[in-house]
Structure 1
Amino acid sequence: MILKKIILFISISIVSHAVESQTSYDLIAVDIKKSGSKIAIIEGTELKITDRKEYDNQPDFINEKQLAFSAADENGNHDIIIYNFESGKFTNLTKTPNQSEYSPSITDCGLFVSAITVEQDGKQRLWLYPTNFGEPELLYDDILPVGYYDWYDNKAAMFVLGQPNQFVYPYSKSEILTISQNIGRSIQKRPKSSIVAFVDKNDTKEIAGEKAFAIKGFDLEKRTFENYGYTLPGAEDFIWLDKNLLLMGKGNALFVRKANQEDWESSGFLQIKDYQNISRMAFSAKLKKLVVVMERK
């Protein structure tokens, strides 16, 4: 599918993932109890899905029993790995020695796991990898370099790196709407809605000496904006637990709040030896499991 060209320097394209990959991260799962607008960590259920010095990051549930994530090998090459909670086994969805795949997500149709692929020539574009392990497909050949994204109506709302970066949605081949500029890396579709939420770095406030960024929503059907308050100061990764409840992590602590409220409430701590700094997260309502990315000390 050929869409309107967004031309940016390829040297910018490697920034979004290469800098982060210099640090070692692991995936840790924990059972949580959710009641209304509150969650509680069930102590003793912590599980280290990965436990190695290489990069394991960017988790996303692709169904009720499987989690996809990006993992680096000893040579620094990144592939998409599928972890099965029932069997405890890992499967390579990709195994590409000359390119790297990041930020996996299940497509709306459920037939593909999408991923940001850094190709051999340095292009960073969105590819589709069939769940039946068939041949991958390039989705948008002229939208690059893509950093982050989420899905609505079988189209991807994408963070395109640049100066400034752009947040775009391709309604059609001829209409690629720029929703915003200078956004953060968290792009999360609000459940049971046509709204995609994002961190707006143009709108900030200082709290206790740290920056908090506005969380905005854009309704892709109505083409209107919504306001969801501000992030935790000093953090910017968030997810939706349901249509109304937002979750963030900072340090070893988890915080929740309703989208229409201002104050974040502490929901407990993940005290795991040799780990710190919760960043990205994924949640399965059916499994009642939260997966967090934590940095190895």
Structure 2
Amino acid sequence: MTLRVLLFFSIISQFNFGQTNTEIFLYDIEANNNSITVSNGENISNNEGYDNQPSFLNDERLLYSSTRNGQTDIAQYFINYNSKVWINFTEGGEYSPQKIPNKSEVSAVRLDTDGKQRLYRYNLSNGESTTLINDLVVAYYTWSNDNTIVSAVIENENLNLFSTNINSGTSRKYATNIGRSFHEIPGSNLVSFISKENNEQWQIKSINPSTGETKLIANTISGVEDICWLNSKTILSGKDAKLYKLTLEKDNNWKEIADLSSLGITSITRLAVNPSMTKLAIAGSISVESQTNETSTQNEETETIETPAESKSEVSDIEAIVQRNLDAYNARDIDAFMKDYADDIKLYTYPNTLRTEGKETMRKGYKDWFDRTPDLRAFIKQRIVIGNKVIDEEQVTANGQIFNAVAIYEVENGLITTVTFIQN
């Protein structure tokens, strides 16, 4: 194993895997003048293992890294429907998922099974991935715009700051000995990063990715390197279970605004705010007692729920089945596609016109469709989960044409039993 890979494991272990009981918490946040209120906190990951590195895809969707079957993958959480789907199905582990500006794609750091660590892009409609940066070992990063990445790169046992132009494939190093927290500063073309050049006092600095010009913004809370911007003047950070804010040109020092220990949080790490500044996502370590209580509560709820298909975990399973089926559709893999359907599958045109019945009939029709449509792609514009039903609003590309459709999937015992199509 190479030194670079060993170093990556060291960095990930220090900052991530060392937090064995990390969860993602979502709060409402409201800022009035110089006052900030945080309320209605909820553990939305509720998952054994590693859940960390949240970032918002938009106001209603949240991305984060989450453990699935012993591997870290990209989860997409739908706030309005309290449900989760998986974006990718690679053999490697993904970290730091973020939306790529102005594209229906996300990016993530991936540690592949061959030991190599790269930054990838992922198509949201089918999960297909391609490499973004080949020649740098990126550990942490953010997008300055849809063509520029500012990142912490592993070099000789250090993290150094690089700015990379994706179109030209060129990178420049602008700073050394930095931390893991990168954020676009609202209302500017600047990116904030954590400078660790002064070991006794870490600092928040800004950088212009085009010129490399850096400026001091503020000192961090002692020993803390995770921040996020609430707006162009206010920075949020956390230490232990307490949340702090620093409003530039107003506050002389960090001010405590909330104690989040009521949900069992013992240590706040990553933070993210949605575009409209109404939701705050936090990754936090939780106490063993809190985790035990959550498990006990979940078990009690499972025993009393009369319609288990409506529980959060089952909704996630149902949604994952439909997403997996969509991935197979986009890959035109007829065998993988048909595995998710019941033997007596029925396809309807809305409201109740039967199109086909039975798995073999459906297979023949879709096999011909896949063979005749090399550019076939379906992109999910919206998804709603109600009980055992998943309702997808889709934009479909086929033979150079683009059309919109709605598909209503019904899932029973792990298989899709009916699909109803509404097409324009």
Equivalent-residue separation in structure 2 for 1:175 and 1:74 (angstroms): 37
Higher helix share: 2
Contact preservation (8 Å) 2:97, 2:106: yes
Alignment partner, residue 140 of structure 2: 148
Contact preservation (8 Å) 1:13, 1:122: no
Post-superposition offset of 1:53: 2.6
Post-superposition offset of 1:273: 4.3
Post-superposition offset of 1:8: 6.5
The residue identity in structure 1 corresponding to 2:128 is E
Whether 1:281 aligns to 2:276 is: no
Q: Kindly, what percent of the aligned residue pairs are identical?
A: 26
Given the alignment, which residue of 248, 252, 270 partners 2:237? 248
Post-superposition offset of 1:110: 2.9
Structure 1 residues 174 and 126, CA gap change in structure 2 (3 angstroms): closer
* 2:7 partner SS: helix
Alignment partner, residue 209 of structure 1: none
TM, length-normalised to structure 1: 0.88
Contact preservation (8 Å) 1:196, 1:217: yes
Q: How many residues align?
A: 280
Q: For each residue in 1:90-125, what CA deviation from the matched residue of structure 2 results, as whole angstroms up to 9, or x when unmatched?
A: 1000123x3100100001123211000001111111
Given the alignment, which residue of 29, 32, 42 partners 1:32? 29
The residue identity in structure 1 corresponding to 2:218 is G
* 2:196 partner SS: strand
Equivalent-residue separation in structure 1 for 2:281 and 2:169 (angstroms): 38
Given the alignment, which residue of 68, 71, 82 partners 1:88? 82
Alignment partner, residue 51 of structure 1: 46
* 1:139 partner SS: strand
Which structure 1 residue ranges, 5 or more long, are not aligned? 1-6, 206-211
Given the alignment, which residue of 114, 122, 126 partners 1:121? 114
Q: How does 1:232-247 map to 2 (within 5 A)?
A: 232-247=221-236
Post-superposition offset of 1:228: 0.8
Equivalent-residue separation in structure 2 for 1:37 and 1:175 (angstroms): 42
Equivalent-residue separation in structure 2 for 1:134 and 1:199 (angstroms): 32
Q: How does 1:100-119 map to 2 (within 5 A)?
A: 100-119=93-112
Q: For each residue in 1:262-294, what CA deviation from the matched residue of structure 2 results, as whole angstroms up to 9, or x when unmatched?
A: 411111211324331111111114261111111
Alignment partner, residue 99 of structure 1: 92
Structure ID, larger Rg:
2
Equivalent-residue separation in structure 1 for 2:206 and 2:277 (angstroms): 27
Post-superposition offset of 1:50: 1.6
Post-superposition offset of 1:164: 2.5
Structure 1 residues 13 and 271, CA gap change in structure 2 (3 angstroms): closer
* 1:263 partner SS: coil
Contact preservation (8 Å) 2:30, 2:277: no
Equivalent-residue separation in structure 1 for 2:283 and 2:259 (angstroms): 14
Given the alignment, which residue of 161, 179, 186 partners 1:184? 179
Structure 1 residues 61 and 11, CA gap change in structure 2 (3 angstroms): same
Whether 1:290 aligns to 2:290 is: no
Whether 1:41 aligns to 2:52 is: no
Structure 1 residues 253 and 174, CA gap change in structure 2 (3 angstroms): closer
Q: Which structure would you say has the larger RCO, counting Cα contacts within 8 Å and 6 or more residues apart?
A: 1
- The CA RMSD measured in Å over matched residues stands at 1.9
Alignment partner, residue 3 of structure 1: none
Q: For each residue in 1:10-35, what CA deviation from the matched residue of structure 2 results, as whole angstroms up to 9, or x when unmatched?
A: 32222332442241101111111112
TM, length-normalised to structure 2: 0.63
Contact preservation (8 Å) 2:88, 2:128: no
Q: For each residue in 1:235-263, what CA deviation from the matched residue of structure 2 results, as whole angstroms up to 9, or x when unmatched?
A: 11000111111110111111111244541
Whether 1:21 aligns to 2:17 is: yes
Alignment partner, residue 129 of structure 2: 136
Equivalent-residue separation in structure 1 for 2:74 and 2:128 (angstroms): 14
Higher strand share: 1
* 1:46 partner SS: strand
Q: How does 1:140-219 map to 2 (within 5 A)?
A: 140-144=133-137, 146-153=138-145, 154-162=147-155, 163-171=157-165, 173=168, 175-205=170-200, 212-219=201-208
* 2:11 partner SS: helix
Which structure 2 residue ranges, 5 or more long, are not aligned? 288-424
